[in-house]
Structures are given as structure tokens and as C-alpha cells.
């Protein structure tokens, strides 16, 4: 069975690091990767970059990490969205590995 994944989207890279740190301190999880997205309406956002953090672990730990990460990110610049997938399918697992941080 696959590990649960929690995806937390926040405004900005600083909030991403703060959220990742808080989530890992709150629960026994690992960070799978970060991802970035510059939406078309970037100028209208509090920070023009959206960063997603992917936490992996058992469901309870992922839930705790996402909650702690979201609370920490709210104190920096804000949360866009969050979602937990308890048991990702194989094709979803492949998609979770994609990220854009190493691309221009």
C-alpha cells in the first residue's frame, strides 16, 4: 500500500520552507518535493508564486503535517489550498513526482 500524500499550496517560497519545517516537526513525515506555479493572475496575488509541498507518511501523520504547515504558512503569506490523498493510485504516484523547480 502506498503512503498517504498531503499537498499544501502556499503563497511564496519562504512560506513553503516555513510550512515544510513546521509539518516535519509536527509529525513523522517526509517531504517528497516542492513544486512551483506562477499563475496567470500573479500580479493580483499576495505573492506572485505558488509553491506546493508534498508530505508523505501514514494518513494521521500527513494530516497533522498539513495542518501544522498550513498554520505556519498563514502567518507568513497564506495558504492557497490543501488536500490529502490517503492511498494514491499508481498513475497518481507517477504524477506526484513531477515538479517544475528545476525548470525555467
Domain boundaries, the chain: 4-38+48-86
Question: pLDDT of 90-103, one tens digit each?
Answer: 888 888 887 776 65
CA dihedral 63, 26, 72, 97 (to 10 degrees): -60
Query: Residue 72 and residue 9: Cα distance in Å, rounded?
Result: 12
Asked whether the beta carbons of 54 and 92 are under 8 A apart, the reply is no
Q: Residue 29: CB partners within 8 Å, gap ≥ 6?
A: 6, 23, 55, 56, 57, 61, 62, 65
User: What is the average pLDDT across 18-28?
Assistant: 98
The architecture that CATH gives domain 4-38+48-86 is 2-Layer Sandwich (3.30)
24-76, pLDDT tens digit by residue?
Answer: 999 999 998 888 888 777 788 777 788 999 999 999 999 999 999 999 999 99
CA pair distance 74, 66, nearest whole angstrom: 12
Amino acid at each position: 500500500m502506498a503512503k498517504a500524500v498531503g499537498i499544501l499550496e502556499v503563497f511564496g517560497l519562504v512560506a513553503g520552507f516555513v510550512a515544510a519545517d513546521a509539518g516535519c516537526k509536527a509529525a513523522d513525515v517526509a517531504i517528497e518535493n516542492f513544486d512551483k506555479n506562477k499563475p496567470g493572475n500573479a500580479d493580483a496575488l499576495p505573492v506572485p508564486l505558488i509553491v506546493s509541498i508534498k508530505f508523505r507518511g501514514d494518513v494521521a501523520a500527513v494530516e497533522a503535517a498539513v495542518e501544522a504547515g498550513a498554520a505556519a504558512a498563514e502567518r507568513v503569506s497564506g495558504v492557497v489550498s490543501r488536500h490529502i490523498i490517503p492511498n494514491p493510485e499508481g498513475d497518481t504516484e507517477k504524477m506526484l513526482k513531477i515538479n517544475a523547480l528545476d525548470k525555467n
